[in-house]
């Protein structure tokens, strides 16, 4: 299927090569029962109830459905069960919780020992992973481009860090605060991976999601924190578009304001800070998790960062938390064009939920554009209801029932790493988060993007 060009303003990267990548992603839209964590901070309702004696974590099997959490199959202290996704999730969550507790002195993501619920085998060919405000969820990949999302251990650390951020700084998931939200998750992912491999910063590969792509895809990983923009270059994926300097900041309404793109800028700052701190301290305190990682954790949890902190504000928080390494941390941010504490250019005036609707096409066309997700890629397709496309009869029925604008008016707020859908149903246009899709809209998305046949 040939996908059309971008139709929304302010796109500073070319979407067709990313759309081609997601042409192989058969991810299903999810049901509407999932609800979001609060956009602006921790949600008391989203905190799991701590039962005395409950295991620190439990892995569930969703059985290729979208009903959560699924059947419990393994808990903390229990042996491997022989299911790769289950056992990978168990290894990853145990190591992630150990990083929080043993290095940073935090008891689970909320600091109060909250048990962690994880679900694997989510959906059919679901190529994503996310934190939904109550649990971690992982798909098995599409079998063409993406492998299991439990396979790289840093994906586990990345998703748990979204829960950590929600319960600390509560960074809003849009624009620069949203890019920082993604950045913090990549920082925790890198610290986790390097700790498990016992690597110092100068020996690490600094890749996020290494092993996530299947053989034949020209990709070293999903993101490269040391060299943003170099993780992949593939005929289907195109070239990694992440910027590594504020000069190249991407202003877009895709993906909540480019949160998976512009996170490359603070990612590179962290890498440079980690190298500098390691050079100053060749001992155990110079690892990423005890050096720069400790600084970033203290900045996140110390009260200096809040829901709408931008790059400059977070840079200032890290410098303040860096102690004897303050100059090195400030220099790392300066190297990517961020001056700690100064106003930072590049944030659009409105976030995607404020300006997210698109200009409608001619009547009789149903168009869907999907952005976001853990991979931060995009895909787009449309169906003319006057054509002889075999999907038209069902789409006509769906188009007659759905009210996109009404769903948008009451939709829950953003969730990290979930997909975002720009929908145009015969001129009724809105931008909806994955968790807001009704069953009819989920089916409409599936049909237009032809997910079952990719």
Which residues belong to the active site? Answer: 159, 260
Which residue shows structure tokens 């860096």? 322
d(CA 326, CA 319): 5
Longest dimension (CA), the chain: 69
d(CA 120, CA 72): 10
Residue 47: count other Cβ atoms within 10 Å of its Cβ: 18
- Nearest Cα neighbor of 193 from 95, 308, 271 is 95
**CA dihedral sign of residues 106, 107, 111, 117:** positive
d(CA 108, CA 97): 6
Q: List, in sequence order, the alpha helices (H) in 228-325.
A: 255-262, 264-280, 292-301, 311-321
Cβ atoms of 110 and 51 within 8 Å: the answer is: no
Q: How long, in residues, is the chain? A: 454
Q: What strands lie across the sheet with 419-425, from one edge to the other? A: 379-384, 365-372, 419-425, 428-433
3-class state of residue 406 by DSSP? helix
Sequence-distant (6+) residues with CB within 8 A of 320 are 299, 304, 326
Query: Residue 44 class from Cβ within 10 Å (0-12 exposed, 13-18 middle, 19+ buried)?
Result: exposed
């Amino acid at each position: 299927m040939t996908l059309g060009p971008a139709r929304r303003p302010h796109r500073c990267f070319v979407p067709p090569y990313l759309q081609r990548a997601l042409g192989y992603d058969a991810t299903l839209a999810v049901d509407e029962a999932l609800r979001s964590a609060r956009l602006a901070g921790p949600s008391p309702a989203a905190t799991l109830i701590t039962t005395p004696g409950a295991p620190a974590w439990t892995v569930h099997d969703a059985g290729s459905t979208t009903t959560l959490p699924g059947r419990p199959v393994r808990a903390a202290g229990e042996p491997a069960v022989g299911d790769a996704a289950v056992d990978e999730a168990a290894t990853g969550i145990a190591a992630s919780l150990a990083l929080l507790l043993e290095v940073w002195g935090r008891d689970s993501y909320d600091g109060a020992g909250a048990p962690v619920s994880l679900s694997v085998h989510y959906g059919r060919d679901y190529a994503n992973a996310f934190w939904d405000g109550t649990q971690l969820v992982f798909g098995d990949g599409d079998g063409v481009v993406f492998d299991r999302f439990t396979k790289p251990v840093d994906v586990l650390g990345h998703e748990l860090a979204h829960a950590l951020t929600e319960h600390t700084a509560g960074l809003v998931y849009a624009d620069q605060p949203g890019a920082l939200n993604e950045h913090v998750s990549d920082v925790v992912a890198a610290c986790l991976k390097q700790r498990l491999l016992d690597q110092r910063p100068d020996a690490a590969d600094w890749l996020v999601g290494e092993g996530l792509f299947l053989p034949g895809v020209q990709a070293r990983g999903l993101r490269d924190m040391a060299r943003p923009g170099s993780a992949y270059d593939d005929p289907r994926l195109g070239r990694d578009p992440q910027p590594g300097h504020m000069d190249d900041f991407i202003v877009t309404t895709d993906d909540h304001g480019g949160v998976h793109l512009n996170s490359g800028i603070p990612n590179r700052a962290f890498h440079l800070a980690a190298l500098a701190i390691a050079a100053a301290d060749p001992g155990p305190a110079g690892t990423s998790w005890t050096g720069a990682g400790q600084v970033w954790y203290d900045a996140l949890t110390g009260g200096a960062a809040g829901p709408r902190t931008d790059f400059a504000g977070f840079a200032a928080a890290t410098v303040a938390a860096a102690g004897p390494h303050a100059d090195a941390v400030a220099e790392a941010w300066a190297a990517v064009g961020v001056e700690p504490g100064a106003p930072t250019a590049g944030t659009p005036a409105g976030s995607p939920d404020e300006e997210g609707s698109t200009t409608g096409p001619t009547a009789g066309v149903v168009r869907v554009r999907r952005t976001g997700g853990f991979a931060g890629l995009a895909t787009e397709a449309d169906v003319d209801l006057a054509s002889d496309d075999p999907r038209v009869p069902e789409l006509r029925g769906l188009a007659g029932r759905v009210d996109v604008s009404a769903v948008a008016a009451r939709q829950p707020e953003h969730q990290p790493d979930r997909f975002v859908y720009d929908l145009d149903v015969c001129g009724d246009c809105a931008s909806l988060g994955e968790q807001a899709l009704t069953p009819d809209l989920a089916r409409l998305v599936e049909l237009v993007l032809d997910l079952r046949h990719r």
